[in-house]
Chains A and B, each alone.
Chain A
C-alpha cells in the first residue's frame, strides 16, 4: 500500500531555534499538503505544493517540494511556543479520485 513517511516522529526544540520536518513518498507527489493540528482538534491548513522545486512561505514557516517530487520539507525559523502542535503531511499521489494519503504526524514541542 502507498505510504507517506514523516520524520521525525517527535521533536523537542528550544524556543528560538530552527527546525525541519520531512515527508517522504515512494511515489510521485502530485500535491503535498501541510497541516497543523492540536491534539484532538481540526486541521489547520498551512500550505500546498504542487510543482517540483516549489517553495512557499508563510510567516516563519517555509515548505518545499523537491525537484523529483517525492519529498517535502517544512522548515520553521526562530520557533515560538505558538508553533507547538502536530504537523501532518497529506499527499495526492495520482489516484484517479484524488484522495489524499497521510503521514503519521510529527509532534513538535517548544521548550521555553
Chain B
C-alpha cells in the first residue's frame, strides 16, 4: 500500500543552524502539506503546496521557512536559522484532491 515517508525520523540541531526535512508523498498525489506539533500541543497547519507553488501558508510559516519539490518526488521543508521554539514534530501529508489526506510518520526536530 502506498504511503508517505519522511526522513530523518529524528533530527537534532544547534540553534541558528539550517535544517531540511524530507518527505516523499504518494506518487499520484497533487496537494502537499506540512504540519507541526509542539510537544503537548495541537497539530498546526504550516503550508500547502500545489502545482509547484505554495497555495496557502499559516502565520507560523514566516521567512525562515521554505518548501520545495526539487525533483517531482521529494517535498522538503527548510528552516533557515532554527530557534529553540522550532522544536516540534513535523508531519508531511499529501492527497489527490478532496479525498483522504495521508500523513507521514513525522520528523522529530530538537533544537538545542
A interface residues with partner B (beta carbon < 8 Å): 30-31, 33, 35, 39-43, 45, 48, 88, 90, 92, 95-105
Contact = CB atoms under 8 A, between A and B. Distances in A.
A22 B57 CA distance: 28
- A-B complex: 6 closest residue pairs judged by Cβ atoms: A97-B48, A102-B43, A42-B105, A42-B106, A97-B56, A97-B55
B22 interface: no
A106 B44 CA distance: 16
Interface residue SS majority, chain B: strand
A11 B70 CA distance: 45
Contact of B42 (A39, A95, A103): A103
A97 B48 CA distance: 7
Contacts, number: 58
Interface string B96-107: 011011010110
- Chain B contact patch, size range: 20 to 34
B45 interface: yes
B95 to A, nearest CB: 6
Say whether chain A's binding surface is mostly helix, strand, loop, or mixed. loop
With a 10 A CB-CB cut-off, give which of B95, B100, B101 has the most chain A CB atoms.
B101
B50 A102 contact: no
A39 B41 CA distance: 10
B45 A98 contact: no
Contacts of B39: 39-40
Given A42-B89, A97-B56, A99-B56, A105 B42 contact: yes
A102 B98 contact: no
B97 A98 contact: yes
